[in-house]
Structure 1
Amino acid sequence: MLIALVGIEAASQQLGTYRVVFRDKGPGVFLPGSALYRAAERELDTRAIERRKKVLPPDSLVTIEDAPLYEAYLEDVARSGGRILLRLRWRNYAVIECDGATADRLRQKPYIRAVEPTSALLRPQEHSTWWLAQEQPGPYRYGESLEQLAMVGLPSLHALGIAGDGVLVGLIDTGFRWRVHEALRSRHVVAERDFIQLDTNTANEEGDPANQDNHGTAVFSVVAGWYPDSLIGGAPCASFLLAKTENIASERHLEEDALAAALEWLEARGADVVNISLGYGVFDSTEAQYNPSDFDGRTTIASVAVEEAVRRGMICVVAAGNSGDAPQTIFAPADAPSAITVGAVANAQLEIPRFTSRGPTADGRLKPDVAALGVNVRTTINASPLGFGVGSGTSLATPIITSCVAALLEAHPTLTPAQVRELLQSQASSASEPNTAIGFGVPNVYRSALQWGIVCSPPIIIPQADSVLVGIAATSLTPITSAELTIESTGRTEQIRLGSAGNLHFVRIPRQGNDSLRLWFMLSDGQRTRRHPVTDAFYVRTSDTLLPCGWQRESINAIADSRMQESAPLTQSGIALPLEQPYLPIPQRWVGMRCAVFDLQLRTRAIVTVPLGAERVRLPIEQRGTYLVRFENSDGGIVSHLVLVY
C-alpha cells in the first residue's frame, strides 16, 4: 500500500485585496451559555431575533454563523502584514489588503482555509451540503483534519464528549513509529506485538526497510492523532492495541497467517474493533496464487480469519483496496461478508477516485459497504516528530470509518457488529442507491447514533468549594424532556432532577463526608428512555474532576453557572431600573457573589463578579426590556430579580 504525500501548493504573487477564509470561529464549544454562543448573541439586536422567530425554529435563532470572526486570528493576520477591510460572519472570512508575499505567508497558517484574490468568484461551498448539516461543531482545533472527520459527522459526537473513550481499538499494519511523534506519543497504547520479528516492538527494527512503518503510523494517526491546529484523530480518546504483520519487502501467504494470528491476539485481549488497511490479491512468484473465484469471503486465510473474529463479536473494518475501477477488484480480506469494507471518495462532493476497488465479490455480493475520504487525508509522516502531510488510498479512508465505529460503541456499548454496519449504512449518502464503488456511501455517524437511541456523554464531575457539579451532555432525535440523577452513598439513595442548558444537564449537590458516589442517569425524550450507563453505575469521587475527553472545565462552569436550574434556596422579586442608571442593590450580608443576567428566553446576556464589599452592581444592559437577574453566593444561596429596564 503506497501512501502518496503531497506538499502545499505554491501561492500566486498577485497584489491587491484578498479574501481570507477561516477554518473555524476559534476554540470552544458552541452551546447555549458558552462564550462563543454569548458572542454570537451580542452580534444581534432584539429586533433581529424577533424577526427571525417568524421563519426559524426556536433552537436555530442563534447559530455559529452569527458568531464573530475569532479576534486572535484577525490579530495574527494583521501582524503578518494584512490590513483588515471587511469582516463577514456568515461565511467566516475577512477581506484584507496585502501584497502577494503576505498572501503566500497567510496560506501557510493552520487556521486559514483559503486566501484568494477578491477578483475571483466566491463560489458557494458546495461541500457543505453533505457534511455541514451536522448539529454541533466539534470542540477541538482540528486544523486540516476537519474535513475528513466532518464528512462522516464525527465532530458532532466530539461535541458531546464522545471520542472513543472506553473503546479498545486494534490496528493491524506494517508497523507503528508512535513513540516519537508529538501527535501520537501520548496516546493510550495498551499493548503492541510484532508478528514478523516476534517481539513487542512495532516500530522499525534492524533489517526492516527504512519505510516499513510509514504506512501503519499514518493509518494510526488518522484514528488517534492529537496535535491541535494540525491533526486530530477520529477517536483520539480510545485505547489501542497495535499489531505488526506486514513485510513490505515481499508479498507472501505468511503475512496472511500473521494477520490471522494478530486477529486471535486482539480478540483475546478484548478489542472491540480492528482496523485492517491491508489486502492480499497477488503474491510473489514463489507463492501459490489465488484464483479469482477464491475472493468469495470464505476461502482465503485472511478472510476466514476476519469471519471468525466477527463471529466472536469483534468488528473488523477493512480497506477495499486500490486496484482500480474495474469490476470485481475486491480482494482479501475485504471480501469477507461480515467485514465493514471501506471504499474511498475523492472530496466532499463525493466524487469517486479511479483507484478505489470495486465490487461485487466473486460470489456476487455488494462490496464495499461504505466509504470515506481517501484523497489528501491528513496524517502524520515519519520525517520528524512534528511531521504532517497528506496521503491517498482506501488505507486512509478505513481508519476514518474505524473512528466512527469507536464513537458508536462509546455512545451505545451494546451494539453488535451487524447492528453497527447497518446503522452506518442506513445514514449514508447513497443509502437509497448503493453501488459497487462506494457501497452505501459516506455515513453520518452522528445521525446513526441518534437513530439508535439517546446519546449521552461520559459523566461530568466538577468539585467546587462546598459542592460538586454533576451532569452529562445528552441529545436525541427530539428534545430531552426529563433528566434525572440517582445517587447512592453510605447506604442511602437519592433521586435528583437535573437542570438543562442546551445539551448539558446538571445539578449542584453539597459535598458531604463520603467522597465516593455510585450514580446513574435516566433520560427521556418523550418517546425513548435511556439509563446511563446501561447496566451497573458510574463510581466517582467528588474530589476528582471528571470531564469528557478534550473538554475544558472553564467552559462547563460558565454554562452551568449561567443557565443551570438550581435546587438551592431561591427567593425572587421584581424591580424597575432606568436604562441610564441600572444599579441593582446587592443582597445584604452576602460575599463571594456572581451576578448573571438573562433575557426572557433564558439566554445569557452577562456574568459579573461582584467586588467584595460592594453594595450595588451596575447591570451591563444596553437595551430597554425585561431581564432575569440572579445573584449567587459562595454558599449556594440564590436571589433572583425580574428587572424591568426602562
Structure 2
Amino acid sequence: MYCFLSRFAKAYAQELHAWIYFTDKPNVTASIASPQSILTQKAIQRKARHGIAIDDRDVPVNQSYVAQIQSQPGITYKTQSKWFNCVHVTGLETDINALTTFSFVSSVDFADPTKMAQINNHNKFVQTTMPPLTYGNALNQINMIGLNDLHDSGHTGTGVTIAVTDSGFPNVDTNPAFNQLRNNNGIAGGYDFVAGDNSYYGDHFHGARVLSIMAAHEAGNYEGSAPDAQYYLFRTEDVATETPVELSYWVAAAERADSLGVDVINVSLGYLGFDNPAESLSYTDLDGQTAFISRGANVAFEKGLFVVVSAGNSGTSTSHPYISAPADADGAFSIGSVTATEQLSNFSSIGPTFDNRLKPNVVAQGSSTALFTENGALVSGSGTSYSAPLISGAIACLIQAYPNVTPLQIKNTVEQSADNFMTPNNQFGYGIPDFGAVFQILSTIQLEGLELNHYINGSKQFVIDLPQKHPAVKARLYNLMGQCVWNGMLENEKPLDLNSFNSGIYIFHIEDMNRSIKVVF
C-alpha cells in the first residue's frame, strides 16, 4: 500500500498537459482573400469542389504568441493548432496558470479535469502476428466489402491522397512490399510530429503494417485497398508514453493534411487512459465534443477531409468495452472489426457514444487481416487498426471515381449500402458495406445537375419523365447486392409496377443515356 501511494504521489508531481488558447490571429482578412498564402492549390481546389469556405481556422497561429509562450520558465512547448488557435504545453500547474497574464491568452484548458478514471489503454493496438499466409489471402478482406468491383472498374486510388497518422513507418523506404508505391512516387512526404523532424521512416512498426493494407502490392499475392493512391506518413503516436500531447500531435497532423489537400485520413489509433490517471478520458468524455482529438476530427470533416478511425479494441473489457477517442466524434467514420466469416471480433469496441449516438459506423475484416510486416513478410494480424485501412482505401477509390461528391454524401451512402442498414446496432453499426453498390448509388449523386424527373406513385409504380428525343429507353434495375432484378424498356410517363420487389433501395441504370437513378420504395 505504501509503495502504491508513493508512486501515485510521484505521478501527480509530474508536469501537467494543457492547451493555451489565444485571443486572435494576424492578417485573417488578407489571408482569406489570398488563400494561396496559407494553403496549397490542391487544398484550395478540394474545398472549392465541396463548397467549403476558407475561414479563420485555416489561418496559421500567431508565431509571436507562440514564441512568448515558449520563452516562459517551466513551460515546455509541444505543438500548436491553427484550427483551435492554441498551443499544447506541459509544466507545473502554477507555471501554466501564469500564462494567463498574457493579454493574448484567452483561456487555459488542462488535460486533467479532476476526473480519476483509470482505463488501461496500453494494449490499444491488439496485434496478433501469425505464420505466413497462403496465396491470395487478401482476397477475402477485399471482396467482403465489395472493393473488388471498384478495382475492376479501374478505381484504385489514382489521384487521391491519404494521410496515415500512426506510431512510425520503419523500412517503408526499403520494404519490397512498397516497391510499386515508391516507383510510382506514391509517398508524397511525411513528418514526425513527436520528434519534430522529418525522420518518419522509423520508430514503431504499427504504421508500416497499417500502410501495407492500403498500399502494398506483390504480384499475384497481394493488393492493397488503394495501391495507386498517394500517401503522407505522419507520426503522431509515441508508444513509449501515453500523454495528452498525442491528441495535439494528431490535430497538428490533421491541419497539415488539410493544408496539403489530403482527401482521406486514416487513424488506426485511439485514446482513453493516460500515464497520469487524472488526465485520462472517461466514458462521459466520449460525446464527440470533449476530447481535443475528437474536436479536431470534427473540424477535419468540416474542412472536407474524410476521417476514418479505428473503433478500438476494448470489446472484451468488463469496465469499458466502448469506443475510444476520436472514434466518438461525429466527424469520424468509425470502423469496427469482423472475422473472415463476418462474425463480430470479440475485441471490437462497441457503442454507443456517451450522448447515445450509434457507433461504430460500419465494420470490415480486422481479424486475421492480411498485411506485410516492416520486414516484408506477408502475415496476418488482428485489431480494428487493420479494419480501418481497408475502409480508408475503399473511400479513396470512391473519391477517384466521384471527386465532386462530398464526404457527407459518401458517408451516408456507404452506410446505406451496409448489410445491417435497416437494423443497426452498437456492435456492427450499419454492418459490412458494399462498395460496389456505393459505386452505383453515387453515380446518381454525381449527375444530380442532369436529373431526370421521376417518382414512385401511391400504387408502388415507377414513373419517369424522359426527354422528347427519348420516348423509351433500355434500363436495368439493380438491388444493393449488385444483382439485376429487372431489365426492359422504360417508356415516358408509363408506370412500371414494382410491387413484386421487396421494399428497399434500388438503382435504375438507363443504358441508352449512361445514367443511374436511385429509388427507394
TM norm structure 1: 0.49
1:146 to 139, 163, 188: 139
Root-mean-square deviation over aligned CA pairs: 2.4
| Larger strand fraction of residues | 1
For residues 189 and 476 of structure 1, do their structure 2 counterparts lie closer, same or farther at Cα, with a shift above 3 Å needed? farther
Matched, 1:279 2:270: yes
Matched, 1:411 2:401: yes
CA distance in 2, matches of 1:160, 1:524: 18
CA distance in 2, matches of 1:190, 1:529: 35
Matched, 1:193 2:185: no
2:360 corresponds in structure 1 to 368
1:182 corresponds in structure 2 to 176
1:41 corresponds in structure 2 to none
1:567 corresponds in structure 2 to none
Contact 2:194 2:237 in 1 (8 A): yes
Residue-by-residue CA offset, 1:416-459 (whole Å, 9 max, x unaligned) = 11111111111112111111011001101011110121799xxx
Q: Cα offset for 1:286? A: 6.5
1:5 corresponds in structure 2 to 129
Contact 2:294 2:325 in 1 (8 A): yes
Residue-by-residue CA offset, 1:216-273 (whole Å, 9 max, x unaligned) = 0000000011112332101001111110011111111011110010000001100001
For residues 308 and 455 of structure 1, do their structure 2 counterparts lie closer, same or farther at Cα, with a shift above 3 Å needed? closer
Q: Cα offset for 1:292? A: 2.1
For residues 339 and 480 of structure 1, do their structure 2 counterparts lie closer, same or farther at Cα, with a shift above 3 Å needed? farther
Q: Cα offset for 1:529? A: 3.5
Contact 1:253 1:287 in 2 (8 A): no
CA distance in 1, matches of 2:270, 2:179: 27
Q: Cα offset for 1:528? A: 5.7
Pick the structure with greater CA Rg: 1
Trace 1:207-356 onto structure 2 (pairs within 5 A): 212-285=203-276, 288-325=279-316, 329-348=322-341, 350-356=342-348
Gap runs ≥5 in structure 2? 1-124, 447-475, 479-483, 489-508, 517-521
For residues 454 and 311 of structure 1, do their structure 2 counterparts lie closer, same or farther at Cα, with a shift above 3 Å needed? closer
CA distance in 2, matches of 1:311, 1:454: 23
How many residues in Structure 1 have an aligned counterpart in Structure 2?
Answer: 330
Q: Which amino acid aligns with 1:267?
A: D
Matched, 1:161 2:154: yes
Residue-by-residue CA offset, 1:565-593 (whole Å, 9 max, x unaligned) = xxxxxxxxxxxxxxxxxxxxxxxxxxxxx
Q: Which amino acid aligns with 1:299?
A: T
Q: Which amino acid aligns with 1:324?
A: G
Residue-by-residue CA offset, 1:44-78 (whole Å, 9 max, x unaligned) = xxxxxxxxxxxxxxxxxxxxxxxxxxxxxxxxxxx
CA distance in 1, matches of 2:345, 2:408: 28
Q: Which amino acid aligns with 2:442?
A: W
2:369 corresponds in structure 1 to 377
For residues 480 and 274 of structure 1, do their structure 2 counterparts lie closer, same or farther at Cα, with a shift above 3 Å needed? farther
Residue-by-residue CA offset, 1:69-117 (whole Å, 9 max, x unaligned) = xxxxxxxxxxxxxxxxxxxxxxxxxxxxxxxxxxxxxxx8x44xxxxxx
The percent identity for this pair of structures is 32
CA distance in 2, matches of 1:287, 1:214: 29
Q: Which amino acid aligns with 2:331?
A: S
Matched, 1:391 2:381: yes
Contact 2:315 2:321 in 1 (8 A): no
Q: Which amino acid aligns with 2:224?
A: G
CA distance in 1, matches of 2:405, 2:285: 31
| SS of residue matched to 1:184 | helix
2:163 corresponds in structure 1 to 170
For residues 367 and 480 of structure 1, do their structure 2 counterparts lie closer, same or farther at Cα, with a shift above 3 Å needed? same
Contact 1:454 1:476 in 2 (8 A): no
Contact 1:328 1:361 in 2 (8 A): no
Q: Which amino acid aligns with 2:178?
A: L
CA distance in 2, matches of 1:442, 1:263: 27
CA distance in 1, matches of 2:512, 2:314: 49
Q: Which amino acid aligns with 1:395?
A: S
| SS of residue matched to 1:193 | strand
Q: Cα offset for 1:480? A: 12
Contact 1:455 1:476 in 2 (8 A): no
1:437 to 404, 427, 435: 427
CA distance in 2, matches of 1:173, 1:396: 12
| SS of residue matched to 2:162 | strand
Q: Cα offset for 1:185? A: 3.7
Trace 1:441-460 onto structure 2 (pairs within 5 A): 441-453=431-443
CA distance in 2, matches of 1:273, 1:173: 14
CA distance in 2, matches of 1:527, 1:278: 45
Q: Cα offset for 1:388? A: 1.5
Of structures 1 and 2, the one scoring higher in RCO (CA 8 A, sep 6+) is 2
Gap runs ≥5 in structure 1? 9-107, 112-142, 205-211, 457-474, 482-522, 531-646
Contact 1:453 1:528 in 2 (8 A): no
Trace 1:425-574 onto structure 2 (pairs within 5 A): 425-453=415-443, 525-526=511-512, 529=515
Q: Cα offset for 1:524? A: 6.0
Residue-by-residue CA offset, 1:498-555 (whole Å, 9 max, x unaligned) = xxxxxxxxxxxxxxxxxxxxxxxxx96346649xxxxxxxxxxxxxxxxxxxxxxxxx
Q: Which amino acid aligns with 2:209?
A: A
Q: Cα offset for 1:345? A: 0.3
For residues 480 and 236 of structure 1, do their structure 2 counterparts lie closer, same or farther at Cα, with a shift above 3 Å needed? farther
CA distance in 2, matches of 1:441, 1:406: 20
1:484 corresponds in structure 2 to none
Contact 1:273 1:406 in 2 (8 A): yes
1:510 corresponds in structure 2 to none
Contact 1:454 1:528 in 2 (8 A): no
CA distance in 2, matches of 1:172, 1:198: 14
Q: Which amino acid aligns with 1:525?
A: E
For residues 201 and 480 of structure 1, do their structure 2 counterparts lie closer, same or farther at Cα, with a shift above 3 Å needed? farther
For residues 399 and 227 of structure 1, do their structure 2 counterparts lie closer, same or farther at Cα, with a shift above 3 Å needed? same
Q: Which amino acid aligns with 2:275?
A: D
Q: Cα offset for 1:324? A: 1.4
| SS of residue matched to 1:316 | strand
Q: Which amino acid aligns with 1:421?
A: K
CA distance in 2, matches of 1:277, 1:447: 26
For residues 225 and 287 of structure 1, do their structure 2 counterparts lie closer, same or farther at Cα, with a shift above 3 Å needed? farther
Trace 1:57-76 onto structure 2 (pairs within 5 A): none
| SS of residue matched to 2:177 | coil
CA distance in 2, matches of 1:285, 1:428: 40
Residue-by-residue CA offset, 1:20-52 (whole Å, 9 max, x unaligned) = xxxxxxxxxxxxxxxxxxxxxxxxxxxxxxxxx
| Larger helix fraction of residues | 2
Contact 1:277 1:319 in 2 (8 A): yes
Q: Which amino acid aligns with 1:396?
A: Y
| SS of residue matched to 1:303 | helix
Structure 1 moving runs of 4+ over 3 Å: 325-328, 475-481, 526-530
Trace 1:607-646 onto structure 2 (pairs within 5 A): none
CA distance in 2, matches of 1:476, 1:228: 36
Q: Cα offset for 1:476? A: 9.7
